[in-house]
Chain A
Amino acid sequence: MACMWYPIGFTVAANPSSAVVKMDEDGTATLLTGTVETGQGSLTILAQIVAQELGIATDDVVVVSADTDATPMDTGAIASRTTYVTGNAARMAAEKVKLMLFDVAAPMLNVKPHQLEAKDHKIVVKGYPQRNMHIADVANHARVVTGEPPIGSASFNPATVALDPETGQGKPFGTYVYATQIAEVDVDDETGEVEVLRMVASHDCGTPINPMLVEGQVEGGISMGIGFALQEEILFNDRGVQINPNLTNYIMPTSLDMPEIEVDIVDNYDPTGPFGAKGVGEPTLVPTAAAIVNAIYDAVGVRITSLPATAEKVFNAIQAKREAELKQLPA
């Protein structure tokens, strides 16, 4: 078992994100973001956040990303910050679009703008759902009649307080996430080889914007954690030159090394995140190695204090333990 805490965003340093959202006449939206999709699914998360704010579906949002000529400033895909920081900026930009739509729709529905909400592709009078207009009609009206094409931009930067250089006291991060992972392992006490059979991972990410992508992050993090715990190590010769810079001799987990993984998302809501969301990218591998090494102890009673816990290291520790036990036997 191992639990952990992990912050979202940079340590004190400004790490802003800006976003631009615009709506076309058919009620679909485009998000411009300077962040980079690096495989984690962040653009889908951002599309979901924009869609939620505008009351449309994920598929109704096109995301244009990562071009310094076209997209606004973003600190990038780092520090588990995209959902929280870029997500906040995207939500706030979408909110501005929404308020423009409310201004256009209010006189058409004979209400004040604050009486409106965006829901199910419609601009709806709160509490009176029968009183509504399709969002595409409002967006089109804004473009071609009132001459106010809906567009909004916003920036977000987590609120922090610099750390005291002497004591380190301060507020380095906007928020943190928490998690626990528990590993079940099979240790071959003749060879020292460790097989991870099962991992249970309970992760907090605030509101899960997309539970499937949270699960994907956790599963990917655990695979990386297993490599860190048991297999991966860059080795140097005595002249400081790497001796295993290739995937033949640098061993990392494959699908055959993956255990059964049960992902559990802990209910939580962070008031400073977009729709209560925080993040999940990096934390998913943080407790994995500790959980596995604690499970090794539980299985064979040896404490591995240096990673990776290779078969050789575990075998030697088991041998040392047996020798120590023999010495303790009464004569």
Chain B
Amino acid sequence: MDKKPTVAEKTVVQEPGILRESVIAPLVTYPIEVVVPKARQQTPAVGQRATRLDGRLHGLGQTGYIDDLAFPGMLYAKIKRAGVASARIRSIDTSEAEAMPGVMAIITGKDVPCNSFGPSLKDQPVLAHERVFHAGDGVAAVAAVTEQIALEACEKIKVDYEVLTPVLDPLESLKLETPGVHAPSANIYQSKVIKKGDIEKGFAASDFIVEGTFRTQMVEHVPLEPHATIAMWDANGRVTIHSTLGRITLGRADVARTLAIPISRIRIVATIVGGNFGGKNEITTEPVLALLSKKSGRPVKSVFTRPDEFIASTTRHPLIMDYKTGVTKDGRIQARKIRLVLDGGAYCSWSETTLGKACILSAGPYNIDNLYAEAHVVYTNKTMTGAMRGFGAPQVCFAYETHMDDIARLVKMDPLDIRLLNAFNEGSLSPTGQSLQSVVVKESLLRAAEKFGWHSNGKGSTNGNANGGPKLLEKENANGNTVRV
């Protein structure tokens, strides 16, 4: 360890080809030969292409994910899903399931001490009680000695529903006359506005006005490891929960609230999680498992199936995005008006953050003196949307950057040049008035263009494709043309 590596050695180790060679290890040989790649032994440590602390364990299958853990007497849990998007629950009959050999505990919404949670609005039940708000809502949970018995028991639970008409379209949901998904609460459950300068003045100073509407879809995180939990109580009345949570402290507070027990009686362990992408930033089945474990007196495990993952975990917000931009003939953006409607699904989850980030980022990394952006998130009876890698940013980037290419074509500018002309500089004021530091958007544009061969690739022309370009509408104003793209 005290052998100081020479500069020459460092150079060799940082050579990608050599590094790979040193990382490739034979499959398990006994006694286990520990190969420590050199980059992990170098100083200074920052900047080293050090292999991951957990990489070797993953590679050799030695990582203990929750599905790999087992405790004596452990049971397996399954949650029965509603399968209807909006309904009133008339009754739940668990008697036949409870009589099955091997079924050790069954709970429903009425067994949850405090049946609501959420990172901002506490509008999500742990298990549905009286009402179903989306098809993935859990209505009952079973712990049994095998997964198969738990599954069969779920099928024997009879739920009598009064099926209601679901609200599915976010633009319908936005209308005041649409019935409230969570009546008496309004369907628009959060809004945000950002105002800067005077957009009317900005549009008046523009030569062209370009408009566009953009939409994005609902997608899943699809982590390799689905949501998984093991809960077990000890004789002191403390519960240990092994969980795939990405936020253990918030998770512990939420579990404490739903179980109505002190935080000090809960331990959450989430040492290794097989992919998060935002989908594991709040509790899902942890309280259910804790209650099943308490009722049965045994450790209980649950691992989501892939369908569970799709229908009962959060997803990415679909957005409907209206953009209107005023630009001068020489490509300077004068004003931008944006309206975002987020499909919030059945519960708030991380909508507040997604709405906020989408709204703040929606104008793009550009100096726009006159800006008005508003964003609204609405309830629908669909799978809840929540945190997902980018929190609304991939959606608005799709809008502002394809919109930008449309603008470039209209003013006959290269897409690179119009971006460089309008992009933030060091010290630029963001849409919220924040003075920005360490700004390198132009550097990233120029470097990417150079690496790509932007100008040698037939790009750099104005791509003046008249047929494919935005169509000029007949409507004109004194300052120029309104273009609908």
List residues of A whose CB falls within 8 A of some B CB: 1-7, 10-11, 27, 34, 36-39, 41, 43-44, 47-49, 51-52, 55-60, 63, 65-69, 73-79, 119-122, 134, 163, 166-173, 175-176, 178-182, 184, 198, 200-204, 206-213, 221, 224-225, 227-228, 232-234, 236, 238-242, 244-247, 250, 252, 262, 264, 266-272, 275, 278, 281-283, 285-291, 293-294, 297-298, 301-308, 321, 324-325, 328
B371 to chain A: closest residue by CB: A168
Complex Cα distance, B359 from A293, in Å, reads 22
Contact A293 B448 (CB under 8 A): no
Which residues from B are CB-within-8-Å of A207?
Answer: 46-47
Contact of B272 among A37, A272, A290 (CB under 8 A): A37
Say whether A58 contacts B214, CB under 8 Å: no
In chain B, positions 440-461 with a C-beta closer than 8 Å to chain A are 440-441, 443-445, 447-449, 451-452, 454, 457, 459
Shortest distance between the CB of B15 and any CB in chain A (Å): 12
Query: Within 8 Å of chain A (Cβ to Cβ): is B135?
Result: yes
Contact A68:B41 (CB < 8 A) given known A59-B36, A294-B402? no
C-alpha spacing A74/B247, complex, angstroms: 8
A58/B217 in contact, CB under 8 A: no
Interface of B is mostly: loop
In this complex, what residue of B is CB-closest to A169? B433
Footprint of A on B, CB under 8 Å?
Answer: 1-2, 4, 19, 36, 39-54, 83-86, 134-136, 166, 168, 192-196, 212-220, 222-224, 245-250, 252, 266-278, 280-281, 306-307, 310-311, 315-316, 353, 356-357, 359-361, 364-365, 373, 380-383, 387, 389-391, 393-394, 397-398, 400-402, 405-406, 415-416, 419, 423-424, 430-434, 436-441, 443-445, 447-449, 451-452, 454, 457, 459, 463, 465, 467-468, 470, 485
8 A-B pairs besides A38-B276, A68-B252 with CB distance below 8 A are A36-B273, A49-B46, A57-B43, A67-B271, A68-B248, A76-B247, A121-B43, A178-B444
Q: Which residues of A contact B315 (CB under 8 A)?
A: 234
In the assembled complex, which residues on chain B have CB atoms less than 8 Å from the CB atom of A283? 390, 393
Contacts of A210 in B (CB 8 A): 47-50
Closest to A325 in B: B467
Q: Could you tell me the distance between the alpha carbons of A211 and B373 in the complex, rounded to whole angstroms?
A: 36
A37 touches B273 (CB 8 A): yes
Q: Is the CB of B271 within 8 A of A65?
A: yes
Q: Which residues of A contact B431 (CB under 8 A)?
A: 168
Residues of B within 8 A of A122 (CB): 2
18 contacts between A and B (CB under 8 A): A3-B365, A7-B360, A39-B273, A44-B53, A58-B50, A67-B267, A68-B267, A78-B281, A134-B2, A167-B194, A168-B360, A178-B441, A242-B310, A271-B437, A290-B398, A294-B402, A303-B406, A303-B468
**C-alpha gap A67/B242 in the complex (Å):** 9
A38 to B54, CA, bound (A): 11
Name the one of B43, B281, B364, B423 contacting A51, with C-beta atoms under 8 angstroms: B43
Contact status A184-B452, CB under 8 Å: yes
Complex CA–CA separation, A157 to B74 (angstroms): 40
On whether the beta carbons of B365 and A212 are closer than 8 Å, the reply is no
Interchain CB contact under 8 A, A77 and B276: yes
Task: Chain B residues near A278: list those with CB within 8 A.
Answer: 438
Nearest chain A CB to B456 CB, angstrom units? 13
State A297–B406 Cα separation when bound (angstroms). Answer: 10
* Distance to closest chain B CB from A187 (angstroms): 13
Contacts A44-B52, A286-B397 hold; do A76 and B44 have CB atoms under 8 A apart?
A: no
Q: Given A68-B266, A321-B467 in contact, is the A236-B168 Cβ separation under 8 Å?
A: yes
Residues in A neighbouring B249, C-beta threshold 8 A: 34, 68, 73-76
Which of chain B's residues has its CB closest to A78's CB?
A: B281
Interfacial chain B residues near A180, Cβ < 8 Å: 441, 444-445, 447-449
Known contacts A286-B397, A301-B467, A305-B402; A77 and B246 CB within 8 A of each other? yes
Chain B residues lying within 8 Å of A325, measured Cβ to Cβ, are: 467
The reply to whether B217 and A57 contact each other, CB–CB distance below 8 Å, is: no
Beta-carbon contact of A168 and B390 below 8 Å? no
Q: Which residues of B contact A224 (CB under 8 A)?
A: 277, 389
Sorted from nearest, which 4 A-B pairs have the closest CB atoms?
Answer: A301-B468, A240-B85, A76-B247, A168-B194
Of B36, B50, B276, B434, the residue contacting A171 (CB under 8 A) is B434
- For residue B400, which residue of chain A has the nearest CB? A290
The 8 Å CB contact of B247, one of A3, A77, A324, is A77
Q: Which of A36, A65, A232, A282 has the most CB of B within 10 A?
A: A36
Q: Are A36 and B397 in contact (CB under 8 A)?
A: no
Complex contact B434–A233 (CB within 8 A) = no
Given contacts A10-B353, A297-B468, contact A120 B393 (CB under 8 A): no
CB–CB B86/A34 < 8 A:
no
B192 A211 Cβ-Cβ under 8 A: no
Q: A287–B247 contact, CB under 8 A? A: no
Interface hub of B245, B252, B394, B463 (most chain A Cβ within 10 A):
B394
Q: B443: which A residues are within 8 A, CB to CB? A: 202, 204, 266-268
Determine the residue in chain A with the shortest Cβ distance to B346.
Answer: A240
Given A56-B45, A176-B436, A286-B394, answer yes or no on A239-B85 (Cβ-Cβ < 8 Å).
yes
A2 in contact with B432 given A239-B166, A286-B393 (CB within 8 Å): no
A38 touches B219 (CB 8 A): no
A168 near B437 (CB under 8 angstroms)?
no
Instruction: Please name all residues of chain A whose beta carbon is closer than 8 Å to the beta carbon of B194 when the two chains form the complex.
Output: 167-169
B438 near A307 (CB under 8 angstroms)? no
Q: Tell whether, in the assembled complex, residue A234 and residue B220 are in contact, meaning their CB atoms are under 8 Å apart.
A: yes
Given contacts A1-B448, A203-B444, A59 and B389 within 8 Å (CB-CB): no
Please determine whether B217 and A307 come into contact, CB atoms closer than 8 angstroms. yes
A148 smallest CB distance to B (angstroms):
23
The CA-CA distance from A1 to B50 in the complex, in Å, is 31
CB pair A245 B382 closer than 8 Å = no
Please indicate the chain B residues that have their CB under 8 angstroms from the CB of A169 in the complex.
194-196, 432-433
> Contact between B269 and A66 (Cβ–Cβ < 8 Å)?
yes
Which one of B4, B84, B166, B218 contacts A120 once the chains associate, using CB atoms below 8 Å?
B4
Q: How far is the CA of A285 from the CA of B397 in the complex (A)?
A: 10
Pick from B195, B406, B441, B465 the residue with the most CB of A within 10 Å.
Answer: B441
Determine the chain A residues whose CB is within 8 A of the CB of B41 once the complex forms: 57-59
Q: Which residues of A contact B49 (CB under 8 A)?
A: 210-212
- Bound CA span A10–B47, Å: 26
A305 vs B215: C-alpha distance when bound (angstroms): 6
Establish whether residues B193 and A76, one from each chain, have CB atoms under 8 Å apart when the complex forms. Answer: no
Chain A residue numbers with a CB within 8 Å of B271 are: 36-37, 65-67
Question: What distance in Å separates the Cβ of A31 from its nearest Cβ neighbour in chain B?
Answer: 11
Chain B residue numbers with a CB within 8 Å of A282 are: 389-391, 393
Known: A58-B45, A209-B46, A224-B389. A38 touches B246 (CB 8 A): yes
Q: Across the interface, which residues of B come within 8 angstroms of A294, CB to CB?
A: 401-402, 405, 415
Chain A: CB-nearest residue to B485 = A303
Contacts of A206 in B (CB 8 A): 438
Q: How far is the CB of A270 from chain B (nearest CB, A)?
A: 4
A6 in complex: contacting residue of B136, B216, B361, B451, CB < 8 Å = B361
Please give the distance in Å from A196's CB to the nearest CB on chain B. 13
**What's the nearest-Cβ distance from chain B to residue A316, in Å?**
15
